[in-house]
């Protein structure tokens, strides 16, 4: 067999592995903001609607053209992207590195569980908003379709481990499984977590039980 | 038994666990610079010697009062701490987050293995230095004394895993063991890795084989 034959064999083997085992692609989340309709209007003006810059991997979700500046006790970060569509709750997701820069102690929390979390100041083109709560570092999680969940015996809200190969080989434990018919397979990590593993968007992690 | 009795029992149990198993304390490394004597003189003037701000945990090593500005293609970072004493090779250790800010692709490398790594510009009070190479993201590693190594059957250059508990529970694999009579037990992680695990200096990780 010639060199191309060997390469093809290796590629076919890798594809089979990715298909037959619970591998999930990573989406690395930079700091971002979810806004309620009311809070969007405070920052951008009455009747304002988000405009789409690009679709995200999860169906219906998009990165907006709109950004805000976030201002904490120790520092500020400009050009923080808003993700659409609008939600019931305003929530700012930052990395712990961002938290140190801003001077804010962002707790690691599941999305939506913002009770008791710190607030921060948001500055938009038409107004300023003092968030009373809602600043979190997102608990790492995997979006999973019901089909994938059934195939690999995963339950909604189950905690699993996800393994990544490479020079910064790592197993993230305590990873939340979230199942919905609106989801496609994707593991969300923040920039600290992706850098600690030496990976970028598109890397594949392998789900392990326990 | 009263409440205090229960607490004392728990504390004693934890101390026994820390003593009897291969737990190591973490030291989180922020970005820092090691300088050769010649390069120190380029940046601070002929005959200049580093002055100690504080001792580090590893005997003989110290954080200097002196800092430099590092300038990359996309950005700069001020107040980057120099660690002493001077070494044979100049080496800048950054996180991958720092690398993105600077516009430099820092490879994950063992300390001292800087051949083929990128350079960067250093600016000191008396001069500027164009490093030709030496910018790395440090390969995570554990400093170990020969006594600890013998007790837990660890070999120099062995790769192990280190487990951390908590909401960002994680097992770092591919962790380098370095043994020297000049070392005390300490695992070095950079800020990305510490944040990904939700830990700070002083946290304890447990060494696991393989």
Quote the CA–CA distance of A144 and B1 in Å, as a whole number.
48
Interface probe with B: pick from A107, A161, A196, most Cβ of B within 10 Å: A196
- A167 → closest Cβ in B95, B108, B198: B108
- On the 0-12 / 13-18 / 19+ scale of CB atoms within 10 A, B184 is middle
Contact A97 B97 (CB under 8 A): yes
Tell me, what's the pLDDT at A193? Answer: 98
Question: Touching check for A51 and chain B: CB below 8 Å?
Answer: no
**CB spacing of A167 vs B174 below 8 angstroms:** yes
CA of residue B41 relative to chain centroid, distance: 25
- 8 Å CB contact between A125 and A108: no
Q: Across the interface, do B169 and A169 touch by the CB < 8 Å criterion?
A: no
Q: Please give the average per-residue pLDDT across B148-153, as a whole number.
A: 96
Better-scored residue on pLDDT, B64 or A209? B64
The torsion defined by the Cα of A198, A199, A205 and A208, in degrees rounded to 10, comes to: 30
Using the predicted structure, report yes or no on whether residue B2 has a pLDDT greater than 80. no
> How much is the pLDDT for B15?
83
Q: b or e along B57-92 (b: 16 or more beta carbons within 10 Å of the residue's beta carbon)?
A: ebeeebbbebbbebbbeeeebeebbbbbebbeebbb
pLDDT tens across the length of chain A (210 residues): 577 888 888 888 888 877 789 999 999 999 999 999 999 999 999 999 999 999 999 999 999 999 999 999 999 999 999 999 999 999 999 999 999 999 999 999 999 999 999 999 999 999 999 999 999 999 999 999 999 999 999 999 999 999 999 999 999 999 999 999 999 999 999 999 999 999 999 999 999 997
Contact between A111 and A88 under an 8 Å Cβ cutoff? The reply is: no
Taking a contact as any Cβ pair under 8 Å apart, which residues of chain B between 135 and 164 contact chain A?
A: 139-140
Residues of chain A numbered 77-96 and touching chain B (CB < 8 Å): 95-96
Cβ neighbours of A139 in B, within 8 Å: 167
Which residue on chain B is closest to A169 by alpha carbon? B173
- Sign (positive or negative) of CA dihedral B162, B202, A77, A178: positive
Enter the tokens of residue A107: 């707790």
| DSSP string of chain A, one letter each residue | --HHHHHHHHHHHHHHHHHHTTEEEEEEEPSEEEEEHHHHHHHH-TT----EEEE-SSTT-EEEEEEEEEE-SS-EEEEEEEEEEEESS-EEE--HHHHHHHT----EE-TT--TT----EEE-SS-EEE-SS-EEEEPPEEEE-HHHHHHTT--TT-EEEEEE-STT-EEEEEEEEEE-TT--SEEEEEHHHHHHHT--TT-EEEEEE-
pTM for the full predicted model: 0.91
Q: Is the pLDDT of residue B162 over 90?
A: yes
Contact: A95, B140; criterion CB under 8 Å:
no
Q: Which two tokens stand for residue B132?
A: 């030709």
Hey, of A100, A170, A188, which one would you mutate to test binding to chain B, going by the most B CBs within 10 A of its CB?
A170
Judge whether A187 and A141 are in contact, CB under 8 Å.
Answer: yes
Cβ of A175 under 8 Å from any chain B Cβ?
no
Per the listing, tokens 């800092």 go with B67
Provide the ipTM: 0.88
């Amino acid at each position: 067999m010639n060199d191309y034959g060997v390469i093809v064999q290796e590629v076919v083997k890798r594809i089979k592995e990715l298909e037959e085992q619970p591998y999930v692609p990573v989406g690395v989340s930079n700091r971002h903001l979810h806004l309620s309709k009311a809070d969007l209007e405070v920052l951008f003006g009455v009747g304002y609607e988000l405009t789409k810059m690009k679709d995200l991997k999860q169906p219906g979700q998009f990165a907006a053209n709109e950004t805000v500046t976030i201002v904490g006790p120790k520092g500020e970060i400009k050009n923080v992207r808003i993700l659409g569509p609008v939600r019931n709750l305003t929530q700012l997701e930052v990395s712990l590195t961002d938290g140190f820069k801003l001077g804010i102690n962002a707790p690691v929390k599941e999305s939506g569980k913002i009770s008791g979390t710190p607030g921060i100041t948001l500055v938009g083109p038409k107004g300023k908003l003092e968030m009373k709560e809602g600043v979190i570092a997102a608990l790492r999680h995997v979006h999973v379709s019901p089909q994938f969940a059934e195939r690999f015996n995963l339950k909604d809200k189950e905690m699993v481990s996800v393994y990544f190969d490479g020079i910064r080989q790592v197993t993230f434990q305590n990873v939340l499984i979230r199942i919905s018919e609106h989801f496609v397979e994707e593991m969300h990590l923040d920039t600290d977590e992706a850098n600690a593993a030496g990976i970028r968007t598109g890397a594949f992690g392998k789900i392990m039980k326990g």
